Amino acid sequence: MQQDILINWSPQETRVAVVENGAVQELHIERTLERGLVGNVYLGKVSRVLPGMQSAFIDIGLERAAFLHVADVWQRQEGGEAPMFARKEPQLPIEKQVFEGQSLMVQVIKDPIGSKGARLSTQISIAGRLLVFLPQDDHVGVSQKIPVAERDALRARLQALVGDKASGGGGGFILRTNGEDASDAELAEDIAYLRKTWARTKEASLRLPPTSLLHQDLDLLQRVLRDLVGEHTQAIRIDSTEQFHRLRAFGQEFMPQAAAKLQHYKGERPIFDLYSIDEEIARALGRRVDLKSGGYLIIDQTEALTTIDVNTGGYVGARNFDDTIFKTNLEAAGAIARQLRLRNLGGIIIVDFIDMAREAHQDAVLTEFRKQLARDRVKTMAGGFSQLGLVEMTRKRTRESLAHMLCEPCAACQGRGAVRTARSVAYDILREILREARQFNPREFRVVAAPQVVELLLDEESPHLAGLSDFIRKPISLQSEAAMGQEQYDIVLL
């Protein structure tokens, strides 16, 4: 597998595309005015405790209060000379762990999404290139993605480094997947960097007032080197001279192996044109995804969950119908996993594969689906086929999906995906005129509506409009307003 990372930078927006074997697999977008908050550490102030919901609202200086659930309250700030955090049992009610007005060090684990505020945790973790630092813990662990046979040896090696007095002492660490082959010197360097970062954060918490930002996670450019670069990465190409030098300086200090793959792109064509990435972004915002076989997916994203429907479409290549369905589902398994990454879909996801009669075909499709999901950097979990033939899965949601970031609800339909017909609106207008005629006694009723509604009232519905005018004994005039949506209208009393 050959992987390229393309970075398109502008003062207002950074866009990153991960391309594998010529196909876009991941898209990451960060806007200067809308930078994500995940990983940021704040000194929050408890504004409200809700025992009934076992949660609390925390003011961290944002427009909306952030949300802290009891399941994420693992530590509690202590006063005096006691440690800043003391271990508490998670089953304690929230009202016994936090109180209104309390200052509390918290970390954002989910960005604000839609109408929901950011979600917080009081267990701080700081990610480095090779390790994740847990300053309030003494646990030493290894990523679950590292083979089981190698974990004990790596854990013992990391324990020896962490316990070394020369390294500063204190805190727990988890070895990340890309730290599996790191040398002791590289791990010790990462340990020192993370402990220094935590020392600055802790010092800021004692100096700054509540609602202050204590530690900000790396920006998208820096996270490319930390999180996206792997052994299969051939090159990281960036189209900004200024950001190339900035990123190279950062990488040479903290991630020299990744920095060696950096290249400054100087081509005349925009960098995203190399793999038609703008066209891929446009397709990722649509409902329909065509498969090479002729089948297609329909993806619908709602507040509660995302549904994905698989259809055979025009595919008739197999010798019998069962094989046609099986091959379409196999191709869809890989396409769905890719779309989840491209669109950054999270939460509950329901996949409706085409019904398969053979259990062997179901097992093969499920195995392929889980294999494709295993490539995801984000945690996923997929169940088996339900009695209705559906596959239920979850994908961890930390940031807004691509559609929520780039789009907004349609002004005409308010995000419903449909508007009421012109005839339905016309009948609403007739009923509203009758209702107002019983309450008021104007000289004339004037209807201001969309052109298509006015046209209908003047044409097919003119007998009903004339009949209503005779019934209420008032003239009714019509005014077309092109700026109005089909469902909008005003009734003016003259």
Beta bridge partners of 263: 237
Rounded mean pLDDT of 328-357?
Answer: 94
Question: Using one digit for the tens of pLDDT, what is the confidence trace for 271-280?
Answer: 999 889 999 9
Lowest-pLDDT range of 118-122, 222-226, 233-237, 428-432: 222-226
Q: What is the 3-state secondary structure (H, E, C) of the chain?
A: CCEEEEEEEECCEEEEEEEECCEEEEEEEEEHHHCCCCCCEEEEEEEEEECCCCEEEEECCCCCCEEEEHHHCCEEECCCCCCCEEECCCCCCHHHCCCCCCEEEEEEEECCECCECCEEECCCCEECCCEEEECCCCCEEECCCCCHHHHHHHHHHHHHHHCCHHHCCCCEEEECHHHCCCCHHHHHHHHHHHHHHHHHHHHHHHHCCCCEEEECCCCHHHHHHHHHCCCCEEEEEECCHHHHHHHHHHHHHHCHHHHCCEEECCCCCCHHHHHCHHHHHHHHCCCEEECCCCCEEEEEECCCEEEEEEECCCCCCCCCHHHHHHHHHHHHHHHHHHHHHHHCCCEEEEEECCCCCCHHHHHHHHHHHHHHHCCCCCCEEEEEECCCCCEEEEECCCCCCHHHHHCCCCCCCCCCCCCCCHHHHHHHHHHHHHHHHCCCCCCCEEEEECHHHHHHHHCCCHHHHHHHHHHHCCCEEEEECCCCCCCCEEEEEC
Domain boundaries, the chain: 3-35+219-278, 41-213, 285-395, 422-493
Structural contact between residues 449 and 478, judged by C-beta atoms closer than 8 angstroms: yes
Instruction: Identify the band that residue 464 occupies on the pLDDT scale cut at 50, 70 and 90.
Output: very high
Percentage of the chain modeled with pLDDT above 70: 94
Structural contact between residues 445 and 492, judged by C-beta atoms closer than 8 angstroms: yes
**pTM passes above 0.85:** no
Beta bridge partners of 15: 8, 29
Q: Cβ–Cβ contacts within 10 Å for residue 245, how many? A: 13
At the topology level, CATH places domain 285-395 in Aminopeptidase (3.40.630)
Which letter does DSSP use for residue 172 in this model? Answer: E
Question: Using one digit for the tens of pLDDT, what is the confidence trace for 113-125?
Answer: 877 889 999 999 9
Beta bridge partners of 113: 116
Whether the predicted pLDDT of 76 surpasses 50: no
Per-residue b or e along 273-297, where b marks 16 or more CB atoms closer than 10 Å to that residue's CB: ebbebeebbeebeeeebebebbbbb
Rounded mean pLDDT of 305-333?
Answer: 83
Structural contact between residues 12 and 33, judged by C-beta atoms closer than 8 angstroms: yes
Rounded mean pLDDT of 265-276?
Answer: 91
CATH superfamily of the domain spanning 41-213: Nucleic acid-binding proteins (2.40.50.140)
Question: Using one digit for the tens of pLDDT, what is the confidence trace for 41-71?
Answer: 999 999 999 999 999 999 999 889 999 999 8
Listed residue (9, 13, 6) closest to 405, CA to CA: 13
Whether the predicted pLDDT of 261 surpasses 80: yes
Instruction: Identify the band that residue 214 occupies on the pLDDT scale cut at 50, 70 and 90.
Output: very high
Q: Cβ–Cβ contacts within 10 Å for residue 408, how many? A: 8
Whether the predicted pLDDT of 88 surpasses 50: no
Lowest-pLDDT range of 35-39, 162-166, 401-405: 162-166
Tokens of 236: 């990281």
Alpha-carbon distances of 170 from 46, 140, 165, rounded to whole Å? 28, 11, 9
Question: Using one digit for the tens of pLDDT, what is the confidence trace for 174-197?
Answer: 988 777 777 888 788 788 888 888
pLDDT given for residue 318 in this prediction: 52
The mean pLDDT of the chain is 87
pLDDT given for residue 27 in this prediction: 93
Tell me: domain 3-35+219-278, CATH 2.60.40.10, correct? no
| C-alpha to C-alpha distance for 92 and 95, rounded to whole angstroms | 8
Q: Write the class of the CATH domain 422-493.
A: alpha beta
Instruction: Identify the band that residue 479 occupies on the pLDDT scale cut at 50, 70 and 90.
Output: very high
| C-alpha to C-alpha distance for 277 and 255, rounded to whole angstroms | 27
pLDDT given for residue 431 in this prediction: 94
Burial degree of 485 (CB within 10 A; 0-12, 13-18, 19+): middle
